[in-house]
């Protein structure tokens, strides 16, 4: 199990680093074994920053990341190498993960050099073929080809196969289907669902509400680096309590009518981060008070398996 305990990330910005940007603020989250948890929010909400901290690609400013009880931030040397044997990531743009002058299956050679240097050529080839077949690829059709000779979906499957070559327990899937066409997206989502059946845990980072509903048992809604609502996916989607979650639901495009005009109004009202509720400047909830502007609301249980960080949550429809 992977647990985020009051995780924070702050950047120094502006002239001579005189200002602070709170990209992630006190996020607490648990991803149980064998579950898919969706991390949902608009661009700039801190989703990818959390994924990068889990993968140790950027440093943690505050809080802890615990993997099976071990503090990830304290890992070094062989301990960090063992961590990467169990925890891997796949990112939004599959083409950026490959060097165009090398063949695509070179990503497997990197894994071999670090983790399987003593394995024979025959055993390694069998292992690679097994991983490719596990993600629905025919080794004879995709091996020995350059990245430009493969589709985006095939390249993403390559990266998932690379992760499967290790003793994978946890996968950070950061917008992994946003650059794929519609016909390929469902195949990759179904692949993640299949991996879950092997007790693989997945943090599915997305801005797409429909994808989060399709793939995950638990969902966490993130706004400006803060968790505003979390819990059972079906409960959040059927009974969204935070005004931001409601706004996201209302902004989903529909075929029978144009996009809601509310988003234009919300963006016009957006202001800088305030000491109180991070959503205060955009909140259209008639029940909001001055206390919302000064006191930061904490997550509290609205119903079993459903938490919301709002002093005056929207009443269920």
Per-residue pLDDT tens for 177-234? 777 777 677 777 778 878 777 788 999 998 888 888 888 899 999 998 999 999 999 9
CB 197 within 8 A of CB 71: no
Cα–Cα distances in angstroms (integers) from residue 48 to residues 53, 97, 137, 168, 254, in the given order:
9, 16, 28, 20, 27
- Percent pLDDT > 90 in the chain is 37
DSSP code at position 13: E
Q: What's CA 301's distance to the chain center, in Å?
A: 23
Backbone Cα Rg of the chain: 21
- Percent pLDDT > 70 in the chain is 91
Per-residue pLDDT tens for 67-115? 999 999 999 999 999 999 999 998 888 788 888 999 998 889 889 988 9
Q: How close are the terminal C-alpha atoms of the chain, in Å?
A: 35
CB 162 within 8 A of CB 87: no
Query: Which comes out higher in pLDDT, residue 28 or 266?
Result: 28
C-beta neighbour count of 52 within 10 angstroms: 17
Mean pLDDT of the chain: 85
Q: What is 31-56+74-219+226-238's CATH number?
A: 3.40.50.300
Sketch the domain layout of the chain as residue ranges: 31-56+74-219+226-238, 241-317
Model-wide pTM > 0.85:
no
CA gap 210, 24 in Å, rounded: 24
Pairing mode, strands 19-31 and 2-13: antiparallel
Query: Which comes out higher in pLDDT, residue 266 or 130?
Result: 130
Cα–Cα distances in angstroms (integers) from residue 175 to residues 51, 90, 281, in the given order:
11, 8, 27
Cα–Cα distances in angstroms (integers) from residue 133 to residues 78, 101, 127, in the given order:
30, 25, 10
> What DSSP element (H or E) covers 255?
none
CA gap 213, 46 in Å, rounded: 20
DSSP code at position 49: H
pLDDT at residue number 274: 55
User: Is the pLDDT at 270 greater than 60, yes or no?
Assistant: no
User: Is the pLDDT at 316 greater than 70, yes or no?
Assistant: no
What 3-state class would DSSP assign to 39? strand
Cα–Cα distances in angstroms (integers) from residue 53 to residues 48, 160, 278, in the given order:
9, 19, 22
């Amino acid at each position: 199990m992977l647990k985020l305990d009051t995780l924070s990330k702050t950047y120094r910005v502006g002239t001579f680093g005189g200002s602070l940007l709170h990209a992630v603020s006190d996020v607490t989250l648990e991803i149980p074994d064998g579950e898919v948890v969706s991390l949902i929010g608009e661009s700039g909400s801190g989703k990818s920053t959390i994924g990068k901290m889990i993968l140790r690609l950027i440093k943690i400013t505050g809080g802890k990341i615990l993997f099976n009880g071990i503090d990830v931030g304290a890992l070094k040397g062989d301990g960090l190498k063992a961590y990467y044997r169990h925890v891997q990531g796949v990112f939004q743009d599959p083409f950026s993960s490959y060097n165009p002058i090398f063949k695509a299956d070179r990503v497997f050679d990197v894994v071999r050099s670090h983790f399987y240097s003593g394995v024979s050529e025959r055993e390694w080839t069998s292992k690679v073929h097994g991983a490719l077949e596990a993600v629905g690829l025919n080794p004879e059709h995709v091996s020995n080809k350059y990245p430009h000779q493969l589709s985006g979906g095939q390249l993403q499957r390559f990266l998932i196969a690379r992760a499967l070559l290790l003793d994978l327990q946890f996968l950070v899937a950061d917008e992994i289907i946003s650059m794929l066409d519609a016909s390929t997206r469902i195949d990759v989502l179904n692949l993640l669902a299949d991996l879950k059946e092997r007790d693989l845990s997945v943090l599915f980072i997305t801005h797409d509400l429909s994808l989060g509903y399709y793939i995950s048992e638990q969902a966490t809604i993130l706004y400006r680096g803060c968790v505003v609502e979390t819990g059972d996916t079906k409960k959040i989607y059927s009974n969204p309590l935070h005004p931001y979650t409601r706004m996201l639901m209302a902004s989903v495009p529909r075929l029978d009518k144009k996009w809601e005009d509310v988003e234009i109004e919300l963006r016009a009202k957006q202001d800088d981060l305030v000491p109180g509720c991070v959503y205060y400047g955009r909140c259209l909830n008639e029940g909001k008070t001055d206390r919302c502007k000064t006191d930061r609301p904490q997550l509290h249980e609205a119903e079993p398996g459903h938490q919301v960080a709002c002093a005056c949550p929207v009443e269920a429809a």
